[in-house]
Amino acid sequence: MLSHWRQYLAISPFFLIFGVFSFFPVFYSLYLAFQRWDGLGTVQFVGLQQFRFLWDDPVFWLSIRNTLVIWVLSTVPTLFGALVLATLLHSVRRFKGFYRIALYVPNVTSIVAVSIFFGAVFSNNFGLVNAILGTVGISPVPWLSNPWLIKLVIALLMTWMWTGYNMIIYLAGLQAIPAQIYEAARLDGAGPIRTFFQITMPIMRPIILFTVIISTINGLQSFSEPQVLFGSNAANPNLGGPGQAGLTTLLYFYQSAFVNNDYGYGAAIVWAFFVLIMVLVVVNWRLVQRGRKS
């Protein structure tokens, strides 16, 4: 042990900070989920009461539903679009570098800026989208007040931000496939579509699995988009817009913990949500794995 003191010293800054600001807090929030506390008064142990309340809380389930709908609406086009774009980008020779940068740049902009932008463009009364629809005689669409359209706008925003990121990852995977394999397939008379499904897809499966898992973890954590998009509602900026249609689970957590100062309930929400994410990650993982066998 002692002979390794330099090594332990070298990793200690990380593990000290990690312990204090990540490890301890995660378990402390699990502890909080079994207490009632407003942050000021006394901490009172209430057992599973928070979770029982959660189970009967329609707003919690609404937020879960919103989150899942937004996640599906954004992940499916994002990953599909990324795969299509990566395949196309892999097939061209010119301007590759330009395409990669131009398609990646949405991912490094801030969610706040993008959300404000989408709010302006999809504004019910004056937004660009409705103005364009107006010129071809379509009456204004209530993008930011219809419960489904609210989710659609948030999903579009996420799709815009994440397609390029996933495309780059797929492209790297495609480039790692040896050209001889394609050559052989071509000599055997396989067309482009057959080649794609019988060669590209099976080889790419681990990378697709990676992007599905990352998208599940990232996509379910949508918070800033609805918070900023509907933050202009001065009465309560954290309700997720009309009908709470944009209230994601994390936004509900934020509202419970930091607006209502209900720390115990906030902790219960975020832990229940974490379990849900893990379940979905495992389900997704299984699905992609099973696809391999068939």
Partner 1 sequence: MTAVVPRRSSRQGGGGGRARRPKGLTAHIVLVLAVLISVFPFVWTIVMATNTTEDIYKSPPKLTFGSHLLENIRHVLDTIDFFGSMLNTLVVATVTTVLVLFVDSLAAFVFAKFDFPGRKVLFAMLVGFMMLPLQLAVLPQFILMSDIGWVGTLKALILPALANAFGIFWLRQYIENGVPDELLDAARIDGAGFFRQYWNIVLPMIKPALSFLAIYAFVGAWNDYIWPLVVLNDPTHLTLQVALAQLHVGHTTDYSMVMAGVLMASVPLVLVFTLFARGFIAGATEGAVQGS
DSSP string, 195-254: HIIIIIHHHHHHHHHHHHHHHHHHHTT--HHHHHHTTT-SS-TTS-SGGGTT--HHHHHH
By three-state DSSP, how is residue 45 classified? strand
Binding-site size, partner 1 (CB under 8 A)? 100
Sequence-separated (6 or more) residues with CB below 8 Å from residue 148: 245
Stretch that binds partner 1, among 64-72, 103-111, 146-154, 282-290 (CB under 8 A): 103-111
In which element (H, E) is residue 150 found? helix 147-175
Q: Give 34's contacts (C-beta < 8 A, 6+ positions apart).
A: 45, 46, 47, 48, 50, 264
Q: Which stretch binds partner 1 (CB under 8 A): 49-57, 111-119, 142-150, 285-293?
A: 111-119
When the beta carbons of 69 and 168 are compared against partner 1, the nearer one is 168
127 phi-psi bin (left φ>0, alpha ψ -120 to 50, beta other): beta
d(CA 71, CA 9): 42
Check residue 153 for interaction with partner 1 (CB under 8 A).
no
* Beta carbon nearer to partner 1, 173 or 246: 173
Interface with partner 1 (CB under 8 A), residue from 152, 190, 277, 288: 277
Residue 80 engages partner 1 in binding (rule: CB under 8 A): no
Give the nearer residue to partner 1 in terms of CB position, either 62 or 265. 265
Q: Identify which range of 53-61, 102-110, 147-155, 284-292 contacts partner 1 by CB under 8 A.
A: 102-110
> What is the nearest approach in angstroms of partner 1 to the Cβ of residue 275?
11
62 binding partner 1? (CB under 8 A): no
Which residues 164-203 are close enough to bind partner 1 by CB under 8 A? 164-165, 168-169, 171-173, 176, 191-192
Binder of partner 1 out of 53, 160, 182, 196 (CB under 8 A)? 160
Separation of alpha carbons 169 and 104, rounded Å:
11
Q: Which is nearer to partner 1, 79 or 250 (CB)?
A: 250
The nearest distance, CB 48 to partner 1, in angstroms, is 19
287 binds partner 1 (CB under 8 A): no
Local structure of residue 140 (DSSP, 8 states) = P
Query: Helix or strand or coil: residue 151?
Result: helix
For tokens 């209230």, what's the residue? 247
Name the one range near partner 1 by CB under 8 A: 45-53, 59-67, 163-171, 195-203.
Answer: 163-171
Phi, psi of 35 (to 5 degrees): -120, 165
Residues 10-29 that bind partner 1 (CB under 8 A): 10-11, 13-15, 17-18, 20-26, 28-29
- Binders of partner 1 among residues 222 to 261 (CB under 8 A) are 223-224, 227-228, 231-232, 234, 237, 250, 253-254, 257-258
Q: Using the rule CB under 8 A, which residue among 103, 150, 155, 245 binds partner 1?
A: 103
Cα–Cα distance list, 274 to 55, 169, 292 (Å): 15, 26, 27
Amino acid of residue 152: L
Binding residues among 122-141 for partner 1 as defined by CB under 8 A: 123, 125-126, 128, 131, 134-135
